[in-house]
Amino acid sequence: MSGDHTGVLLVHGIQGRPEQLHFLTEALPENALINCLLLPGHGADVTQFRRSGQKEWLSSVLDAARDMRLHCGKVIFVGHSMGCLLGLLAEQKNPGLFSGMILLCCPFSLRLTFRYLKNNILSFQKEPSDPYVLATKEANSVSARSPFAYVFCLHPYIELLRMIRSVRQMELPPVSVQYFFADRDEIVSPHSVAVADAHKAGSVHVLANCGHHYFTEEAKKEIIDALLASYTDAGMVN
């Protein structure tokens, strides 16, 4: 693949899985260069997860992006939750690494809600009927016998808080960013929208009737349209 092509790098959030973002990869042309990353410590049990952290996660994103740049001239970054922070940190370390960014539920600020705790506990049901709970269950790649097992995984969550602080303290990169927030997000604070609004290179969208993991079909279409527009602008469609 020549350097005239553009790649798409997609990164999930903490405890997440690549499949969360397959609704986007499936909308891209078959010949698109795509990497839907699985972060270190994910896709296994809590034992591996609790040993993972920022250094390994960020190295994984940087390595994937640099590898894509060997095969294509431009890379569009798509992140969900913590994946957004990793993308912003990667761009800060390598300015110009990404030609555009689409960030979903970027956690500039967090809040702990009853709905967040309830969704995570109920996600251990065999077949949840609530779409928000089901989305939480399907988004989790870290297996455990009970939701309380994650309480003992302090290291990854402390690392997440450190990343939030680092990103909040740094000057956000000038690369074009499209932010998508959910109006019913169970853990990302509405204050995150204000932080994104202040980002001069960013445009902000708030998706109706969506949660941190759950997106309506209308919301998915809006995000897909944004990705395809970035795809086209980057010269991926010939």
- The string of pLDDT tens digits covering residues 119-153 is 999 999 989 999 999 999 999 999 998 888 888 88
φ, ψ of residue 117 to 5 degrees: the values are -65, -45
pLDDT for the residue numbered 1: 42
Q: What is the pLDDT of residues 176-190, one digit of tens each?
A: 999 999 999 999 999
- Over the stretch 78-121, which tens digit does the pLDDT of each residue have? 999 999 999 999 999 999 999 999 999 999 999 999 999 999 99
* CB-based contact 164:40 (threshold 8 Å): no
A 10 A CB-CB count for 143 gives 13
pLDDT at 236: 44
How much is the mean pLDDT over the chain?
93
Task: Report the pLDDT value the prediction gives residue 34, as an integer from 0 to 100.
Answer: 95
Domain 6-231 of CATH type 3.90.1300.10: no
d(CA 45, CA 23): 25
**What mean pLDDT do residues 189-199 have?**
96
Q: Compute how many other C-beta atoms are within 10 angstroms of the C-beta atom of residue 30.
A: 5
Domain range list for the chain: 6-231
pLDDT at 61: 98
Q: pTM for the complete prediction?
A: 0.95
